[in-house]
């Protein structure tokens, strides 16, 4: 069996069996490396070389977690939650309950979309906004899997379609640039205007998946423990938060400063540290509590950090085996001259390549190098080539255990231990997004 396929299957099987995702990634990397012809020492060396690639992201998320805990001490998220509870009311009618439910989901979706372009902070808003809203979600009996699907849609579909913010990086700086670079010697050239049009078809499949998740799959009420879910597993958060004007004012100043620093410097780490420092100077929490708060926030985001680090090591081992190219060449032998089968196989192979890596941004260079000549060989149009490469890469974000687009929602929804990463975030988003992406990506390849 191909080492890449085996590595991904081992990782997914262990994760579905509720084994730690970190352990699953390491086990999958070892299995893939050994089957791919690497010695144990070479496999471990390749894994260690890749680990450093995820360290920066892990530290950034840990810093944002600390900032989120500090913000919660100021009372701003609690104020938002109280307003929503007041809007909901204690004796709400079913009609009003439904209205508040979909208003909440719509608001979360708008914030997730804005996090990719209007205020490009990616998942940084999740640990700040979502935990205080869990009280409202529990009272509404809202299935958190629907919220996870909403967040993942806003985080992924937005940059796949809109060339602004992270979308400008994905569509123009990475997808467009890599296809043109590889296609230059093959006579293929695409323009900026073609990319969003080609990606519109796969994204429409994701939109359909979101509607199915909200109105069919997870429409029914779901009960959760009524414990205090406002980051109740973190120190200091089991106490009653006192909401006061100065704390709210400092929260707003800290958030604006953190966003401004991040946009100016491009560093989530620096932005989170500045925000945390401003809240400390503003008296939101006592100086002697700073270390405990910072540690608590880092602990809240620690799982994401370790998974991202392990995913980088996994990707490095798969690359070191050299079997990504072999996987594609084997697929070509199966395809023959059938264009429809070629599109389907290319998307399925892309799913296996990207599922363990968990990042569409970092897999496009790998996918484009192999898929652009292959698409030209099978006679696909430039628009179809864009759809194939872009969709194959996007499969690494929606529904991957190692993607920050699923890890981020889990970090916000699981602060009270009632939202499982694999079964409540990964599996729902895989079913509602990866399957439609493959189907609509195939349609785009055949019709464009």
Using a cut of 0.85, tell me whether the model's pTM lies above it: no
pLDDT at 23: 84
Of the CA atoms within 13 Å of residue 2, those in its CB half-sphere come to: 18
pLDDT at 85: 63
pLDDT at 125: 76
Could you tell me if 123 and 403 are in contact, meaning their C-beta atoms sit under 8 angstroms apart?
A: no
pLDDT at 240: 47
Six-digit token pair at 11? 């990782």
pLDDT at 78: 63
Could you tell me if 303 and 411 are in contact, meaning their C-beta atoms sit under 8 angstroms apart?
A: yes
> Can you say how many angstroms the Cα of residue 14 is from the centroid of all Cα atoms in its chain?
20
The pairs formed by 97-104 with CB atoms below 8 angstroms and a separation of 24 or more are: 97/140, 100/136, 100/140, 101/140, 101/142, 102/214, 104/133, 104/136, 104/137, 104/140, 104/142
> E strands of 397-439, at which residues?
none
pLDDT digits (tens, 9 = 90+) for 330-348: 766 777 678 888 888 888 8
pLDDT at 211: 96
pLDDT at 218: 94
3-state class of 259 per DSSP? Answer: helix
Q: Taking Cα atoms as reference points, which of 335, 271, 234, 334 lies closest to residue 119?
A: 271
Residue 253 CB-density burial (10 A; 0-12 exposed, 13-18 middle, 19+ buried): middle
Residue 88 backbone zone (phi > 0: left; psi -120 to 50: alpha; other: beta): alpha
What would you measure as the largest C-alpha separation in the chain, in angstroms? 69
Six-digit token pair at 79? 């104020």
pLDDT digits (tens, 9 = 90+) for 114-173: 877 766 667 777 877 788 788 888 888 899 999 999 999 998 898 889 887 677 777 887
pLDDT at 229: 45
Six-digit token pair at 42? 């070479």
What is the domain partition of the chain in residue ranges? 3-222+232-447
Report how far residue 189's alpha carbon sits from residue 124's, in angstroms, rounded to the nearest whole number: 36
Residue positions counted in the chain: 448
Which residue has tokens 């929606």? 398
Helix (H) / strand (E) containing 177: helix 177-183
Residues of the chain scoring pLDDT < 70: 1, 53-57, 61, 64, 68, 72, 74-93, 118-121, 165, 226-247, 262-263, 266, 268, 287, 297, 299-304, 308, 324-325, 328-329, 331-332, 336, 356-362, 365-366
Q: Which residues contact 209 (CB under 8 A, 6 or more apart)?
A: 149, 153, 431, 432, 433, 435, 436
Q: How is 21-82 classified by DSSP, letter by letter?
A: HHHHHHHHHHHHHHHTT--HHHHHHHHHHHHHHHHHHHHHHHHHHHHHHHHHHHTHHHHHHH
């Amino acid at each position: 069996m191909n080492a890449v396929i085996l590595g991904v299957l081992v990782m997914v099987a262990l994760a579905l069996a509720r084994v730690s995702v970190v352990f699953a990634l390491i086990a999958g990397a070892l299995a893939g490396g050994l089957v791919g012809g690497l010695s144990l020492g070479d496999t471990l060396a390749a894994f260690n070389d890749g680990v450093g690639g995820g360290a920066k992201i892990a530290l950034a998320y840990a810093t944002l977690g600390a900032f989120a805990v500090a913000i919660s001490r100021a009372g701003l998220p609690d104020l938002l939650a109280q307003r929503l509870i007041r809007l909901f009311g204690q004796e709400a009618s079913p009609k009003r309950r439904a209205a508040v439910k979909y208003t909440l989901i719509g608001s979360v979706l708008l914030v997730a979309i804005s996090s990719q372009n209007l205020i490009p902070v990616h998942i940084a808003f999740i640990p700040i906004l979502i935990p205080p809203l869990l009280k409202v979600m529990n009272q509404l009996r809202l299935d958190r899997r629907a919220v996870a699907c909403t967040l993942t849609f806003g985080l992924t579909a937005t940059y796949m379609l809109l060339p602004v913010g992270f979308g400008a990086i994905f569509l123009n700086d990475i997808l467009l640039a890599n296809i043109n670079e590889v296609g230059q010697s093959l006579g293929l050239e695409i323009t900026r205007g073609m990319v969003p049009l080609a990606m519109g078809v796969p994204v429409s499949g994701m939109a359909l998946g979101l509607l199915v998740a909200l109105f069919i799959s997870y429409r029914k009420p779901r009960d959760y423990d009524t414990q205090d879910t406002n980051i109740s597993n973190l120190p200091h958060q089991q106490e009653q938060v006192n909401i006061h004007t100065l704390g709210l004012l400092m929260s707003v100043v800290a958030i604006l400063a953190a966003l401004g620093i991040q946009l100016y410097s491009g560093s989530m780490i620096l932005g989170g540290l500045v925000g945390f420092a401003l809240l400390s100077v503003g008296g939101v929490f006592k100086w002697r509590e700073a270390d405990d708060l910072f540690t608590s926030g880092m602990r809240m985001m620690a799982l994401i950090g370790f998974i991202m680090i392990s995913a980088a090591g996994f990707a490095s081992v798969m690359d070191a085996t050299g079997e990504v190219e072999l996987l594609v060449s084997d697929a070509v032998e199966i395809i023959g001259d059938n264009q429809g089968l070629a599109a389907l196989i290319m998307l399925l192979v892309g799913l296996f390549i990207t599922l363990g890596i968990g990042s569409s941004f970092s897999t496009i260079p790998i996918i484009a190098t192999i898929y652009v000549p292959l698409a030209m060989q099978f006679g696909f149009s430039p628009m179809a080539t864009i759809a194939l490469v872009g969709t194959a890469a996007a499969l690494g974000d929606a529904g991957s255990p190692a993607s920050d687009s699923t890890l981020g929602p889990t970090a916000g929804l699981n602060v009270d231990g009632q939202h499982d990463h694999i079964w409540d975030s990964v599996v729902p988003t895989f079913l509602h997004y990866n399957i439609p992406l493959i189907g609509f990506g195939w349609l785009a390849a055949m019709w464009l």
